[in-house]
Structure 1
Amino acid sequence: MTVFEELKRRGLIAQATHEDLIEELLNREPVTFYIGFDATADSLHVGHFLQLVVMKHMQNAGHRPIALLGTGTTMIGDPTGKTDMRKMLTEEEIDHNAECFRKQMSRFIDFSDGKAIIARNGDWLKHMNYIEFLRDVGVHFSVNKMLTAECFKSRLERGLSFLEFNYMLMQSYDFLHLNREFGCKLELGGDDQWSNILGGVDLVRRVNDEQVFGMTFTLLTTKEGKKMGKTEKGALWLDPEKTSPYEFFQYWRNVADDDVIRCMKLITFIPIEEIEALEHLSGHELNPVKERLAFEVTKMVHGEEEAQKALDAARSLFTNKADSADMPSTTLCEADVPAEGIGVLTLLVKAGLAPSNGEARRLVQGGGISIDDQKVSDPKQTVDAQTLKNGIIIKKGKKVYHKVTLG
């Protein structure tokens, strides 16, 4: 099976500028391709992870990835999928974030001996003369056509800044630069990047008189189309300091039945034939499949040792031995606990199990909270300092466990 057939069979390919020509190109020769990553945070998240999986599939097939770190484009901000303008970061923050990305990417992509390239678009975008840029690049873009792009249409009612309007031109120029510098012939990205990718393909054709290609892959969403990778604490990060290996494991262990096979196809390297053989399973039969999904993804991101720890901790919880050292935990200080004890609502918020007292109250009133296997029914209940010194286990719903102690 060719890499194109593999990506297609796994459901990874969403759109392509010239599907037949791309397949022929990938089958014919090693191809240099790129994916861009704007450095908006100090860690990659699970949406980026899917892109790294695609990169790895392509590299395994002999193609050369360029991981383009957006040290220039991040200063502008992509309006795609955003209801408001992105927060402006300093150059120092962006450079720090990009370095964090580079370190995390090195776990998945082999950058040795020219097998892959790390590039930073700030190296060329920051030093461009704006008038020359308008004359050389802006002349090839129709404002009328740009306004029909989904990334701009969704923002027009709330307001689209001229700053963001430049983003498509800058991303398109990246493709032009990489084509000239490295012979890059293919841009890949999430399906929400389709308009930006088309802009780059068209710019290279107009300026370099060369045919290049664009292809998008499926976004990581549930069967209902809701984007995956969001937790109550925010994004599902690849950095273990931001999302612990156990929490990361539990996210995938608890995916809905309708999503587990699809996730396995999209973000693991389990042979596709093996995954397809599981498609007939349902209900409790899917529990071992979810466990396998969680283990494989956690192993790729955090290593086999951490994946095994998370698996052992999860199994201990489901056999009522909820005392694992690998369980997510919060340590309170003396100042957090008044003499009369800490209220259960405050406790839930401090443990990150509820975003507010109001939501904590709804959880308690809905019967969704237990402490040391005792259901909590009174929102005014308190927990004293001595009990916390011994450590308590809070259970939220059926699957979330959290240890709280007083340090």
Structure 2
Amino acid sequence: MDFVKELRWRGMLHDMMPGTDDLLNNGVTAGYIGFDPTADSLHVGSLAQIMTLIHFQRAGHKPVALVGGATGMVGDPSGKSAERNLLSEDVLQKNLAGIQAQLEKFLDFDSGENSAIVVNNYDWFKDFSFLNFIRDVGKHITVNYMMAKDSVKNRLSGDTGMSFTEFTYQLVQGYDFYYLWKHHNCSLQMGGSDQWGNIVTGTELIRRKDAGEAYALTTKLIKKADGTKFGKSEGGNIWLDPEKTSPYKFYQFWLNTSDEDAKSYIRIFTLFDETTINGLETEHDAAPHMRTLQKALAKDITIRVHGENAYDKSIKSSDFLFGNVGIEFLNELNDEEILGLFEGVPHFEVDQSDLADGINIIELLATKTAIFSSKGEARKMVQAGGVAINKTKAASAEQMITSNDLINNRYIVPQKGKKNYFLISVK
């Protein structure tokens, strides 16, 4: 497999330095990508770079994932309009541990010569004094060179300016590349196209400091066809951590992509070959309403990130809300999964004592909760057959709800019509 050709047909390649092809064709190459530890989980925006490392390893090369224990304390100004908050060491260590565990799910760390490794730049910066850094690193890169970078020029021309801390970021990242080149024989740095300036600073430092050769390759930044930011939902980032974004919500994020985006994402985020993807596109175009591309995309990514069991539950969850899966399905879910399934659904709490002797359905829906604004409205809807409790149509306005109706000994699921769900939990 040819790494550059693979990125090119998938629409991922943005730019690379001359000679990169020759480097990759001359044997196993070590190449790295840096991951920013601003949270204890990566999000789907990081998946493009993870996929780059996966393709790199599949092409026979050695992937190096760098987690920025040191650079996370500084903050990369690339693409930023303001300086971000610096992280405490305790928070940073928690974030690093979470990210490393996620990276280890995607890369092969036991494949011989091209086994993946994870490195933390704090390991080589923690004992590097300021005086030694400016003497051994800073003297090789001129201020003129640093000022010419777009990430610097854009900030200097803006209202917020740039702190010295951020200004030195490209030197710190450049030294990362130098260290990995020197100690891990790492000749290639990869990243998103917004990282080009920082990456090239590293190649320049290697050249000026040790007369060495190193190379840069960048991938396209992922954008949605409608111009909105990729990787965001109404609730914020779509995380890889199931505790931050439930597998069901993760699955739905991919399932709900537009046709145009699905054609792009299925190339970037799956390992399907070109023939398979072309076949899926043909099938999709013949019957777009079947959402063939979206289903294949969502299935592949959900399984690789969360596993087969989480995917199966996501399918059943979707069928529960929009299909014919019965209430008994909820007994297969734990509290976190139930709350994830009903995320965004109006949620009410009642006391255990309310159910001890049973509570009238109208009382529950209009007094103990605000599912209906009045008892009269609730009664009218129940009598018209428009209310269900736990997916069973309410029998009458005199129906009593007891602890026997609880799912997992804690939840009741009312419906107003077919699509309006509510969740009641007992405290």
Partner of 2:22: 24
CA–CA distance in 2 between the matches of 1:138 and 1:67? 25
CA–CA distance in 2 between the matches of 1:91 and 1:159? 26
Amino acid at match of 1:105: L
Secondary structure of 2:242's counterpart equals coil
Amino acid at match of 2:66: L
Partner of 1:12: 12
CA contact (8 A) 1:3 1:61 kept: yes
Residue by residue, what CA displacement relative to the aligned partner does 1:280-305 show, whole Å, maximum 9, x if unpaired? 54462561221111000000100112
CA–CA distance in 2 between the matches of 1:27 and 1:193? 24
Amino acid at match of 1:5: K
Instruction: Tell me the CA shift for residue 242 of structure 1.
Output: 0.4
Q: TM-score, normalised by structure 1?
A: 0.82
Aligned length: 366
62-71 or 314-323, which deviates more: 314-323
Instruction: Tell me the CA shift for residue 30 of structure 1.
Output: 0.3
Partner of 2:198: 196
Instruction: Tell me the CA shift for residue 154 of structure 1.
Output: 3.1
Instruction: Tell me the CA shift for residue 4 of structure 1.
Output: 1.8
Aligned counterparts, 1:91-240, within 5 A:
91-112=89-110, 115-156=115-156, 157=158, 158-240=160-242
Partner of 1:63: 61
CA–CA distance in 2 between the matches of 1:392 and 1:86? 44
CA contact (8 A) 1:394 1:404 kept: no
CA–CA distance in 1 between the matches of 2:416 and 2:75? 40
CA–CA distance in 2 between the matches of 1:371 and 1:6? 54
* Structure 1 spans left out of the alignment, 5+ residues: 346-369, 374-384
66-75 or 107-116, which deviates more: 107-116
Partner of 1:380: none
Q: Find out whether 1:263 has 2:265 as its counterpart.
A: yes
Aligned with 1:35 (options 25, 33, 43): 33
Partner of 1:404: 423
Instruction: Tell me the CA shift for residue 278 of structure 1.
Output: 3.8
Instruction: Tell me the CA shift for residue 88 of structure 1.
Output: 1.5
Q: TM-score, normalised by structure 2?
A: 0.78
Secondary structure of 1:48's counterpart equals helix
Computing the radius of gyration from Cα coordinates, the structure with the larger value is 2
CA contact (8 A) 1:31 1:184 kept: yes
Residues 275 and 168 of structure 1, relative CA distance in 2, 3 Å threshold = same
CA contact (8 A) 1:35 1:188 kept: yes
293-302 or 324-333, which deviates more: 324-333
Secondary structure of 1:277's counterpart equals helix
319-328 or 228-237, which deviates more: 319-328
Amino acid at match of 2:318: A
CA contact (8 A) 1:14 1:216 kept: yes
CA–CA distance in 1 between the matches of 2:278 and 2:218? 23
Instruction: Tell me the CA shift for residue 62 of structure 1.
Output: 1.5
Residues 338 and 168 of structure 1, relative CA distance in 2, 3 Å threshold = farther
CA-atom RMSD, angstroms? 3.0
Residues 75 and 341 of structure 1, relative CA distance in 2, 3 Å threshold = same
CA contact (8 A) 1:261 1:278 kept: no
CA–CA distance in 1 between the matches of 2:124 and 2:387? 56
* Structure 2 spans left out of the alignment, 5+ residues: 331-336, 352-363, 373-385, 390-400
166-175 or 316-325, which deviates more: 316-325
Instruction: Tell me the CA shift for residue 312 of structure 1.
Output: 2.9
Residues 393 and 4 of structure 1, relative CA distance in 2, 3 Å threshold = farther
CA–CA distance in 1 between the matches of 2:387 and 2:151? 46
230-239 or 326-335, which deviates more: 326-335
CA contact (8 A) 1:257 1:286 kept: no
Aligned with 1:88 (options 61, 86, 89): 86
CA–CA distance in 2 between the matches of 1:16 and 1:129? 33
Secondary structure of 2:194's counterpart equals helix
Instruction: Tell me the CA shift for residue 25 of structure 1.
Output: 1.9
Residues 153 and 341 of structure 1, relative CA distance in 2, 3 Å threshold = farther
Instruction: Tell me the CA shift for residue 320 of structure 1.
Output: 5.8
CA contact (8 A) 2:350 2:424 kept: no
Identical aligned residues as a percent: 36
Instruction: Tell me the CA shift for residue 143 of structure 1.
Output: 2.6
Partner of 1:392: 414
Residues 137 and 295 of structure 1, relative CA distance in 2, 3 Å threshold = same
